[in-house]
Each structure stands twice: as C-alpha cells, then as structure tokens.
A and B are shown apart, each in its own frame.
Chain A
Amino acid sequence: MYTNLVGNKIRTKSRNCLFLGLTTYLFLFPEYSLATSNEEPFELSLEQLFNATVISASKTEDKWWTTPASVYVVDNQDIQRSGATSIPEALRLVPGVQVARVNASGWAVSVRGFNGALANKLLVLMDGREIYDPLFSGVYWDIQDTPLEDIERIEVIRGPGASLWGANAVNGVINIITKSAADTQGGLLSGGAGNQEHGFTTGRYGVKLGENGYYRIYGKYLNHDNEKNLAGINSQDNWSAGRGGFRADWKGNDKKSSFTLQGDAYQSDSSQLRTTPLLSAPYSRTGKEEITARGGNILARWKQDLQDDARLSIQSYVDFTSREQMLVEDRRTSFDLDAQYELPVWNRHKFIIGGRYRYSADELTPSSFVSLESAERNDQTFSGFMQDQITLQPEKWLLTLGTKFEHNDYSGFELQPNARLQWHPNETQMLWTSISRAVRTPSRIERDVNVDLAAFPPSVALPVPILLQLQANSDYDSEELTAYEAGYRHKLTSDLSFDISTFYNDYSKLATNRFLPFTIVNNGVDPLHILFPIHASNDTKGESYGLETTLDWQALEVLELSVGYSLLEIALHGPEPDIAINAESAEEQSPQHQFNVRSMWDITNDLSLDTMLYYVSSLPAYQVPDYWRLDTRLGWKINRQLQFSLVAQNMLDSVHREFGAPSDVNSIEVGRSIYGKLTWRF
C-alpha cells in the first residue's frame, strides 16, 4: 500500500539555520526585511504574509511520533548531509538497519537480521511501487538509484508491516518517497567526482504545468570504480548507471483531489567475478560476469478527499525490468492496481479498507548451469486489507486492529493480522505494544529453478566428482513470523527526545537447504559424477529479540547530535547437519550490535560540518571482523545558488570488509573514498 505511515519529523535545526540565513540576507537587503524584529512576523503586512513562500519545517509534523510501530524517518536534509551517494548508503543512518556493501554495485540491506545480498524479509517501496524482485524476493539496489536530491524522505518501519503493506513486509518496510513536482521547481545541476566515485551527475528541471500543475524531468549518471577484493586483487566490479524520468502533480481546483503521474527508465551496467562449477579439472572457473539491467515504469495515482475526512486513493503502475547476467536472464512485466478508502470517522472508529490486484509475468533464459521447471510464468495476487483505529479514551488510549488477506499463486491464501495498542500518558510520552503475524511468500527460485552451485574434485575415497545442485521444490511454503513488539517515546525537553523499541520474533517454517538422496549420473554427455541435490524446505524454527534506540539532542541552535544503538540476537533451530546445510547460518550473518553517533554542525551560515561514526559488530558466518567507520562532510554554501561539499568516507582504516565470505571472490574490501560535489540551483 502507498499510505504514508508516518510524516515528516520536525527539524528545529533547519529552522534555525534557515532563519539565520534569512536574517543575514534580510539584513543586507532591507527591502525584504522583517523590519525591527527578526523573530516576529507581526510587522509584516497582510499582503506580504499572503505572498510569502512557505519554508517547510513542519508539514505533517510529528505524525511518526504517534505511530504505534518502530519507525524512523530520514529526511532529505539527513540524506544530503550524510554524504551518501546511494539509497543503501543513506540507510546506514537508521539504527537497526543492517547495511553492508558487498561490492561496487551491490549492498546487503536488512532489518532485524537475515541479511544477504538479496535479503528477502524486507519490503521496499518507491512511491508505493514494490521494488523487490519476485525471482529471489530480494532488492537489486543497483537499479534503485533515484537522485537523492529528489527524495523527500525515507520511512523505515522496523518490524512487520504486513497487515498494511502485504507479504514480505516481515522484518521491515522501507518506503522511499520522492518530492512532489511542486517542490522541485526551477533547475538543479549537480556533479562530483572522487577516488572511488569516478563521476556522478544529476540534472533536474521543474516547471509549472497550467494553472494547478507542476512537472519535473531529471537525468542521472554515475560511474563507480572497481573495488579490491580480499587478496588485494581488482574485483572487476566497476559500475555505471544512467537513468531519467519525470513526475507531474496536479491539484484539483477545489484542492480536494490530486493526481500524480510519474515514470523512470534506467540502465545499469556492472560486473563481478563469478565462480562456476566444472565437472572436469580444475572443477571451477572464475571469470568476469557482465550484468546489464534495464527497465522502466510508469505510475499514476489519484487521491480524492471526500466528505467528513473520508478519502479515496487509487494507484496503478506498470513496471518492466530485464536483467542479463551469467546464470539466468530475467525479463519481467508487472501490473499493479491498488485502491484504498478511508471511511469517515464513525463514533470512535476510523476504518480504512483497501484492495489490490497484481499481475506479474516473467520470461527466464537459463544458462548451462541452470534448468527451469517453467521458462515463463504469470502470477496473480489478489489482496485486501482492513484496519480500524479505535479511540478507547480520547488522546490517551488507541487500539488499532487490522488484517491483510491475500491470495497468491505460490502459497494460496495468507492471513496477516495485527493488533496495536498505544497509550499517551501525557503530551510528551507514548507507549505502544503490538502483536502481528507476517509471512514471506515463496520466490520463483525456490519453486521453479535448479542451479548448479559447486563441484568438488574427486578424492581418494570417492574417485568421481560431486556436483552440488540446488533444486526446485514445488512444495516449498511461506516462512512465518509472529512478532511481539513494544516501544516507548519521550520528548524530554523541546530539544531532547528519546525513542526505544523492543521486539521478540517467533519464526517458523524458515527456509532450509535440505539434502536429497544422491544419484550417480552417467548420461554420456557429462563426465561421470555424483549429483548431490539440495532443495529449499521449511524445516527451521527460530527466535530473535532485540532493540533499537535513538536519542536526538539539539545541543545548540547550530548543533544537532544523535545517537543510535541496536541489539539483535537470533537463535535458529534447524535439522541436524547431516540433513541440511547452513540451516542456522543466518544467526551469524547480521551484526549483534550496531552503534552510531552523528553530529550536524552549522559552523557559520554558509559552512557546515557533519560527522557520522558507525560501529558494526562482527559477522562470524563470514569471518567479517567488527569495524568502525567514520564519514565526514564539509558543506559550503558559496551563494544561494551554488553549494560545494567535500565528503570523506571510511576515514579510520584504509580498508575493511563489510559482507561476504573470504572465499567469495566478490566480497570486497571497502576502502577510503573522498569526493567533491558541486550543486547549482537556478
């Protein structure tokens, strides 16, 4: 669903900064002056007030503050000041999100564990469009490269969001929201380069479209250098990507309706090393794999405000993606239609109902290492949801009951209910607790695809090679979660706020690679070998618990500090090692502790210094040691139109690894990166 669960958070910070900038400017040019008092608008004429441009500081204010879920919002300013050059890098700011760079164009991103390059228990949306790939149920981050300048905010919900958002919103939801075209009027040209970022540039132009409409177009290109792998060898993973798109927003004359039309087209060219199995000496071969991903999408959204606070929204999109790589080529077309109706408040009830239809058609072209149960597949998903927010005691107690019901072609009917209770003892505090069920539905690869994983050379004991093959399992079912959560928020003073969420997750039917009976293959085509098949089964159970906490402190008008910490403990109970492999490996694929400190300091009106320090504990599954990471950014507003920033990342060590086993040729050492960037607004 595309409802924004949370709104903007207040940024007193930006207010002060803007204010200082504004007063300096007004001091210089008295004709725009706020006259005698800089802080009081009472000297302005009515006409001046009506003509003034509103600087957004508190649009939907504090909505996240009253959301009974573990929510964190990263806004445009946070992103810009983090120095991040991609969406996954910006997600490092969120306590409890595990972000690890795998290689130049790949990231492992998860929430509350089970991390992987295609982590599958996380739902990621871009303006309401699902951007995870149903082949693996993971997100290809190399094609999610919307210009950061155009992103209004990223809302992260840690924990299940399935009742509202749907399947795969098991451990979290990341909702990326771009700015309205009305907020991106005029021109913007930015570009930069550095030792790792060989060059990136973004252009955007926004104009008015008739009486009530706005429009923008954008283009972006980037080129990222090869990284180095563990042996210090060039990992041949350089990445270049280009994309372009538009967004148009209209508001009806009565301001009750709004219509949005947006679209993007992109191409990403990257490469990586891949080791493929061979049935004769040397039994494996490592070569460069070229990956070309192309795609496009177009989305329309209509919102209509009705009588008495009721609201209807309808959204539809078509998305096309194709990904050519060594193992399998994937072409997919998806269509999605989604409607939501917020009923008028009735007594103490606020109902929301919604329905959705999704059609996804794919065409796979296998390589010699892959065979398919079916080369083409068309899937349909029907789903509905309803939610009732009940005011038990006005302003004190609220209960939200909701459920999603879905029918998909893989696992049939799924019911995902949740209940959330919130209590506001006073205006500055809030406590919430929830219980929810969520499922991760099977992906195409688990159901339909056979992949040769590895070959083992003959030994003295066994004089023929062994081929390990992942086979499709048509009985593979959804993974299930029951989550128990509780949280507390407190605005200690107007400058200091605190937020903590805790969770206990009870998983069942988790994916497990189970051994199947081996066979001796003597087909006359391949060399004589033993085929050792495994397939995905639902044989593992587990629990996880942990917490995420944030402390935000506006220490001075010009200095904001924030501290985040997250704890994660996972215990899995899979079959014995002679029955399955790596059943419990997810225990050690996500860091147990993550810690970050961030400061945003406006040294002067035009000069700012931002520092981010991250600590990530070790990943024993990949022998990745714990590491500290220090990023800084110096920003200089040359004038109202030109801005320069200098960013240095990973300043503490020359290289460190963030993900992937040492034996994996693709796991890179993340090195120091320094780049400069110039932004021109006109």
Chain B
Amino acid sequence: MAILKKTLVLTCILLFVWKPLYATTEQRLQLLESQIKAGMIYNFLKYTEWPESALPPAPAPYIVCILGNNSFSDALAPLEKRTVNQHTIKIHILHNAEKAEAQECHLLFIGQDKKAEWLSLRLAVSKRSILTVSDAEEFFVKNGGMIEFRKTNNQMDVGLNMQALQSAQLQVHDRLLALVTIVHPPSSESER
C-alpha cells in the first residue's frame, strides 16, 4: 500500500508540475455524452419560457417525458431533486407513444429509435406548448421537432427550429439562442 500511496503522491506532484501545460492544451471540460445531454436538458428548462396557460405558477412541476432509448436517464434522474426557476421537476418515462400522456409534458424527449412514433405524435404535440427534444440527428428538426442534439467532432451541438418553437408559443432565452444552430426547415416540412 505504501507504494500505492507513493505512486499517488507522485502522480499528484506530476499533475501539479504539469498543470500549466494542461491549461494551454486542455481548456475544455471532458464530459460524457449523457452528462452533456442531461445538463443541456436542465438548461433548456431554465432558458425557455412557457405561456402561463401551459405552466401553472411555481412550485408546480415541469414534467419531463422520455420516450425511447436514451443514454442519459441515469444522469437525468437527480434532476428530480432540483428546482428550476422555482419549479420542481418530475420525470416521466413513456413506454408507448400515447398522445394523451405526451400532451401533459412540458419537455418531451424522443429517442432516435422512436422516429416513427414521433411522426404519429407530431400533430398532437406541436400546437401545444411542449418543448420537443431528440437525438435523432438530421431527422428531428426537419420533421417538426424543436431541438435536436448533434454530435460532431467530439462536441455537442444543438439544432433549433425557431418556427416550431414560435407556433408552440415557447420563448427561448437569447443566451441559449446564441449557442445553438438555427435550422430553417423547408416550410412544407416544418409544420403540419
């Protein structure tokens, strides 16, 4: 064990000595994809304004719904212990694409394995104030979804469909808008 400790101490010293080097080469945080997505979903709640008709006053909960495969349920779970803008948060795992259930959500995540289900849910959901999010790259925002996770070159990017947000009466904070890629789907595709 003494050797282990020594090793650890040595490693720590090395880390300190090498720290300036990191500061130049390693400015970025390294995070798991699931952590980034969970963190972003939290921030989507934080930087989106729902109309009063859709979200009762605090502490009424935000209902976050998950449909389909995702890699971040575990990372998202601790969210229930938090509040955003004084609202509590509830996570619902949907097992099938029931319209009634989906219409109760404030944020609906569609896994990329549920593209077909999205196409059937889309009409029922898009006129309501439901922030829709998916990791179905190059599919979701083209097909009436609002926010799409896109991973490129080891960084997470977000595609955002303004038209879909506006018609759902959702307002996104400029701080978030400044970071995302605004997508303008062909009008025939974006709505309806």
Interchain CB contact under 8 A, A54 and B14: no
Contact of A58 with B150 at beta-carbon distance under 8 Å, contacts A39-B78, A42-B82 already known: no
Interchain CB contact under 8 A, B33 and A639: no
Stretch at the interface among A15-23, A112-120, A237-245: A15-23
Interchain CB contact under 8 A, A255 and B28: no
Interchain CB contact under 8 A, B116 and A183: no
Q: Does A555 contact B (CB under 8 A)?
A: no
In whole Å, how far is A349's beta carbon from the nearest beta carbon of chain B? 12
Interchain CB contact under 8 A, A255 and B152: yes
In whole Å, how far is A386's beta carbon from the nearest beta carbon of chain B? 22
Q: Which residues of A contact B152 (CB under 8 A)?
A: 251, 255
Q: Which residues of B contact A47 (CB under 8 A)?
A: 179
Q: Which residues of A contact B43 (CB under 8 A)?
A: 46, 49
Q: Which residue of A lies closest to B173 (CB)?
A: A46
**Bound-state Cα–Cα, A623 to B158, Å:** 62
**Bound-state Cα–Cα, A44 to B39, Å:** 7
Q: Does A519 contact B (CB under 8 A)?
A: no
**Bound-state Cα–Cα, A639 to B13, Å:** 10
Interchain CB contact under 8 A, A52 and B38: no
Interchain CB contact under 8 A, B29 and A58: no
Q: Does A25 contact B (CB under 8 A)?
A: yes
Q: Which residue of B lies closest to A19 (CB)?
A: B32
Contact of A58 with B34 at beta-carbon distance under 8 Å, contacts A40-B78, A42-B42, A604-B4 already known: yes
List B1-58 residues whose CB lies under 8 Å from chain A.
4, 7-8, 11-12, 14-16, 18-19, 22, 26, 28-36, 38-40, 42-43, 47
Contact of A52 with B15 at beta-carbon distance under 8 Å, contacts A41-B31, A58-B71, A255-B138 already known: no
Q: Which residue of B lies closest to A49 (CB)?
A: B39
Q: Which residues of B contact A52 (CB under 8 A)?
A: 28-31, 36, 155-156
Partner of A309, one of B7, B34, B71, B115: B115
Q: Which residues of B contact A636 (CB under 8 A)?
A: 7
Interchain CB contact under 8 A, A54 and B156: yes
Partner of A606, one of B7, B151, B179: B7
List B153-167 residues whose CB lies under 8 Å from chain A.
153-158
In whole Å, how far is B48's beta carbon from the nearest beta carbon of chain A? 12
Partner of B14, one of A255, A605, A639: A639
Contact of A53 with B154 at beta-carbon distance under 8 Å, contacts A28-B15, A305-B138 already known: yes
Interchain CB contact under 8 A, B8 and A606: yes
List A605-646 residues whose CB lies under 8 Å from chain B.
605-607, 636-641
Interchain CB contact under 8 A, B19 and A309: no
In whole Å, how far is B148's beta carbon from the nearest beta carbon of chain A? 11
Interchain CB contact under 8 A, A58 and B33: yes
Q: Which residues of A contact B11 (CB under 8 A)?
A: 605-606, 637-639
Contact of A53 with B31 at beta-carbon distance under 8 Å, contacts A28-B12, A42-B82 already known: yes
Interchain CB contact under 8 A, A54 and B151: yes
Partner of A49, one of B19, B22, B138, B156: B156
Interchain CB contact under 8 A, B69 and A61: yes
List B112-150 residues whose CB lies under 8 Å from chain A.
115-116, 137-139, 150
Q: Which residues of A contact B26 (CB under 8 A)?
A: 640
**Bound-state Cα–Cα, A19 to B69, Å:** 23
Q: Does A378 contact B (CB under 8 A)?
A: no
Interchain CB contact under 8 A, A640 and B18: yes
A interface bracket (residues with beta carbon within 8 Å of B): 35 or more
Contact of A54 with B116 at beta-carbon distance under 8 Å, contacts A606-B11, A607-B4, A638-B14 already known: no
Q: Which residue of A lies closest to B21 (CB)?
A: A641
Task: Fill in one digit per residue for A10-49: 1 if any B CB lies within 8 Å of its CB, else 0.
Answer: 1000010011001001001100100001011110101111
**Bound-state Cα–Cα, A636 to B33, Å:** 26
Q: Which residue of A lies closest to B8 (CB)?
A: A604
Partner of B139, one of A40, A309, A637, A641: A309
Q: Which residue of A lies closest to B44 (CB)?
A: A46
In whole Å, how far is B107's beta carbon from the nearest beta carbon of chain A? 14
**Bound-state Cα–Cα, A42 to B71, Å:** 16
Q: Does A393 contact B (CB under 8 A)?
A: no
**Bound-state Cα–Cα, A25 to B11, Å:** 11
Contact of A49 with B71 at beta-carbon distance under 8 Å, contacts A22-B30, A54-B156 already known: no
Q: Which residues of B contact A32 (CB under 8 A)?
A: 29
Q: Does B192 contact A (CB under 8 A)?
A: no
**Bound-state Cα–Cα, A256 to B30, Å:** 26
**Bound-state Cα–Cα, A40 to B179, Å:** 21
Of the candidates A19, A58, A62, the one having the most CB atoms from chain B within 10 angstroms of its own CB is A58
Task: Fill in one digit per residue for A382-426: 1 if any B CB lies within 8 Å of its CB, else 0.
Answer: 000000000000100000000000000000000000000000000
Q: Which residue of B lies closest to A46 (CB)?
A: B43
Interchain CB contact under 8 A, A41 and B39: yes
Partner of B29, one of A18, A53, A214, A251: A53
Interchain CB contact under 8 A, A49 and B154: no
Q: Does A261 contact B (CB under 8 A)?
A: no
Interchain CB contact under 8 A, B154 and A15: no
**Bound-state Cα–Cα, A637 to B8, Å:** 10
Q: Which residues of B contact A183 (CB under 8 A)?
A: 154
The 6 closest A-B pairs by CB, nearest first: A41-B39, A41-B35, A52-B29, A52-B31, A58-B71, A42-B42
A interface list, Cβ under 8 A from B: 10, 15, 18-19, 22, 25, 28-29, 32, 37, 39-42, 44, 46-59, 61-62, 182-183, 214, 251, 255-256, 305, 309, 345, 394, 603-607, 636-641
* Contact sample, A vs B, 12 pairs, CB 8 Å cutoff: A10-B71, A18-B30, A39-B75, A50-B157, A52-B31, A182-B153, A183-B154, A606-B7, A606-B11, A607-B7, A637-B11, A640-B26
B interface list, Cβ under 8 A from A: 4, 7-8, 11-12, 14-16, 18-19, 22, 26, 28-36, 38-40, 42-43, 47, 69, 71, 75, 78-79, 82, 115-116, 137-139, 150-158, 175-176, 179
Knowing that A15-B32, A18-B32, A251-B153 touch, tell me 11 more A-B residue pairs with CB under 8 angstroms. Answer: A28-B16, A29-B22, A42-B79, A44-B39, A49-B36, A50-B155, A52-B155, A57-B32, A305-B138, A606-B7, A637-B11
